[in-house]
């Protein structure tokens, strides 16, 4: 088993915390890993990344070759696009859609989303909104980690355990917020996967899921089925675009009738 992961974002977004939690879970799972990091510009709001290579055999290099990454896990949408050339053909992108405009030539948001949402395997979430739901805006990165959990070759329980250990010194309130964030992200990812399995277009899924506010548990199956039926209709793309443009929280239990 070989699984190459790119974790990326902007300085201050907790990219290396995500990598640390994953690294600890890999170790607990009895797997091998090698990791490289780029974080020299973190204090200036520059790009931050970590290459995490996971295997059941010793790993020789910490570099990820073009076209070999299984996942790009990003806390910032433009940073997600920066690493797409590393993805393998069946690789996936898991990303927050909240822009961090840290450069003067940051692309227009509409153009950015148009490209990002064209990815065939994408989990797009509003990490800021979901972090607030979890109890703290500071857990945005853990929401994204949760959204990636079901795609990783690791039990989700190991990732949760490492979150508990990492944040235990900060008190139960912080631990609870991080666990809620992780489970909310996981619920978003599993909802997205269910829609994709039902045949809903990826661009439609991205626009709907990124506006949906999840609870820290799976969306009830009747709600999933109702959304699948609604988003397989001829006007699904128009509905998804209107929900995205409105930028208002969508409840999973409330399926638009028109």
The confidence band for 43, taking pLDDT boundaries of 50, 70 and 90, is low
Please tell me the distance from the alpha carbon of residue 116 to that of residue 145, in angstroms, as a whole number: 19
What is the predicted pLDDT for the residue at 14? 83
Determine the distance from the C-alpha atom of residue 95 to the mean position of all C-alpha atoms in its chain, rounded to a whole number. Answer: 4
Cα torsion 94, 98, 103, 105 to 10°: value is 90
pLDDT exceeds cutoff 90 at 244: yes
pLDDT exceeds cutoff 80 at 257: no
pLDDT average, residue stretch 166-195: 96
Kindly state the tokens that stand for 131: 């972090």
Kindly state the tokens that stand for 82: 């920066």
What is the predicted pLDDT for the residue at 102? 75
What is the predicted pLDDT for the residue at 258? 64
Query: Which CATH code fits 2-246?
Result: 3.40.920.10
pLDDT average, residue stretch 221-237: 96
pLDDT exceeds cutoff 70 at 44: no
What is the predicted pLDDT for the residue at 39? 63
Among 201, 186, 116, smallest CA distance to 155 is for 186
What is the predicted pLDDT for the residue at 36? 83
pLDDT exceeds cutoff 80 at 40: no
Helix axes 202-209, 236-246, angle to 10 degrees: 30
Considering the chain, what is the average pLDDT of its residues?
92
pLDDT average, residue stretch 102-124: 92
pLDDT exceeds cutoff 90 at 180: yes
The residues, any chain, with a CB within 8 Å of residue 77's CB and separated by 6 or more, are 95, 96, 97, 98, 99, 112, 113, 116, 124
pLDDT exceeds cutoff 80 at 70: yes
The residues, any chain, with a CB within 8 Å of residue 112's CB and separated by 6 or more, are 77, 78, 81, 99
Beta bridge partners of 54: 3, 33
Please tell me the distance from the alpha carbon of residue 154 to that of residue 110, in angstroms, as a whole number: 35
What is the predicted pLDDT for the residue at 45? 64
What is the predicted pLDDT for the residue at 20? 93
Q: What is the pTM of this model?
A: 0.93
pLDDT exceeds cutoff 70 at 181: yes
pLDDT average, residue stretch 120-127: 96
């Amino acid at each position: 088993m070989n699984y190459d992961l790119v974790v990326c974002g902007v300085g201050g977004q907790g990219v290396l915390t995500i990598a640390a939690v994953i690294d600890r879970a890999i170790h607990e799972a009895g797997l091998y890993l090698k990791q490289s990091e780029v974080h020299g510009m973190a204090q200036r709001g520059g790009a931050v990344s970590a290459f995490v290579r996971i295997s059941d055999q010793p790993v020789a290099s910490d570099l990820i070759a073009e076209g070999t990454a299984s996942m790009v896990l990003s806390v910032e949408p433009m940073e997600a696009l920066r690493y797409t050339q590393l993805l393998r053909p069946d690789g996936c992108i898991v990303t927050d859609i909240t822009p961090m405009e840290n450069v003067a030539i940051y692309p227009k948001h509409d153009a950015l989303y148009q490209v990002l949402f064209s990815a065939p395997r994408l989990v797009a979430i509003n990490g800021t909104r979901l972090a607030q739901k979890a109890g703290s805006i500071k857990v945005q990165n853990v929401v994204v980690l949760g959204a990636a959990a079901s795609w990783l070759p690791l039990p989700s329980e190991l990732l949760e355990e490492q979150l508990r250990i990492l944040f235990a010194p900060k008190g139960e309130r912080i631990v609870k917020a991080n666990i809620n964030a992780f489970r909310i992200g996981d619920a978003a990812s599993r909802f997205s996967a269910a829609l994709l399995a039902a045949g809903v277009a990826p661009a439609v899924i991205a626009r709907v899921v990124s506006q949906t506010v999840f609870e820290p548990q799976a969306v009830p199956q009747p709600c999933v089925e109702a959304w699948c039926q609604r988003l397989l209709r001829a006007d699904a793309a128009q509905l998804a675009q209107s929900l995205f443009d409105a930028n208002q929280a969508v409840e999973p239990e409330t399926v638009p009738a028109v």
